[in-house]
Amino acid sequence: MLNTAPSRLRRFIAARLSPEGQMGLHLTVGLALLVLAAWIFGEIAEDVVTGDTITLVDIQLAHWFHERATQGFTRAMLVVTHWNGIVGSSIMAALLALWFWRRHAHYWLIVCLVAVPGGMLLNVALKHVFRRTRPSFDDPLLSLMTYSFPSGHTAAATVFYGLLACYLVRRVRTWRVRALVTLGAVLMVMLVALSRMYLGVHYLSDVLAAAAEGAAWLAICITAVSTLHRRRLARGQTSWSERAHRAAAAEDLQ
């Protein structure tokens, strides 16, 4: 009895850290990322609701950007923000989904179809929960009447570029290329967040919370679809197309 508990614990830990199986490393990493991102979002949201120090930083930074706005940089930021808006994100997501379909990457196709539109709906729901007004200026660079917290553009960018990075990281073999892909995704999210703050339509806390929201939602989607797909493969309940491309799908899941 005394030796059974430690051995069970070791087997449990080994199973959670194994790259194989339905409840292995993918589930452990996914849940860890979800908990971390949700905690970060909760901390920021609490500070915003209670008017903590971060709200003072929000106002100061918003005015700092507004006072230093230039015509050329404003045009550049408008291009970034419009391309990563609802229409732009939808177009990019549709093209990415088409690419996954043509490559028979059915697992990633499902994640894309669930994560991107689902993330947009989640963001709208959160905006109506918190109902935070946007920054206000006498001569705004961009005027919007919707709620501010959390940033929809930043959340969508986190989901889209995060999804693309996750897929590409699985396909490349060297750590240097993986690091470059990850860095590229992070920089794109930061650029979108910068455009929203520079244009005066979001506070710093809006974009930080949105990045955490997007990361949490993406972790849920990838982990859930991966777990269900692994379970289906383990039970042999695959369609003819999945059986035909099982090798490619298995490679994507590794």
Q: 92-101, 163-172, 177-186: lowest mean pLDDT where?
A: 163-172
Average pLDDT, the chain: 84
| Mean pLDDT of all residues in 58-70 | 93
| Mean pLDDT of all residues in 30-48 | 92
pLDDT at position 249: 46
Q: 187-241, pLDDT tens digit by residue?
A: 999 999 999 999 999 999 999 999 999 999 999 998 888 777 666 665 665 443 4
How buried is 201 (Cβ within 10 angstroms: 0-12 exposed, 13-18 middle, 19+ buried)? buried
Q: How far apart are CA 45 and CA 7, in angstroms?
A: 42
Q: Which of 160, 83, 80 is nearest to 120 (CA)?
A: 160
Angle between helices 86-102 and 106-130 (to 10 degrees): 160
Whether residue 248 is predicted with pLDDT greater than 50 in this model: the reply is: no
Q: 80-130, pLDDT tens digit by residue?
A: 999 999 999 999 999 999 999 998 888 899 999 999 999 999 999 999 999
Q: Which of 223, 234, 225 is nearest to 28 (CA)?
A: 223
pLDDT at position 244: 39
Q: Indicate the pLDDT class of residue 251, thresholds 50, 70 and 90.
A: very low
| Mean pLDDT of all residues in 50-72 | 92
pLDDT at position 145: 86
Element (H, E) at 223: helix 204-235
Q: What domains can you pick out in the chain, each with its CATH number? A: 44-253 (1.20.144)
Whether residue 7 is predicted with pLDDT greater than 80 in this model: the reply is: no
Q: How far apart are CA 195 and CA 204, in angstroms?
A: 11
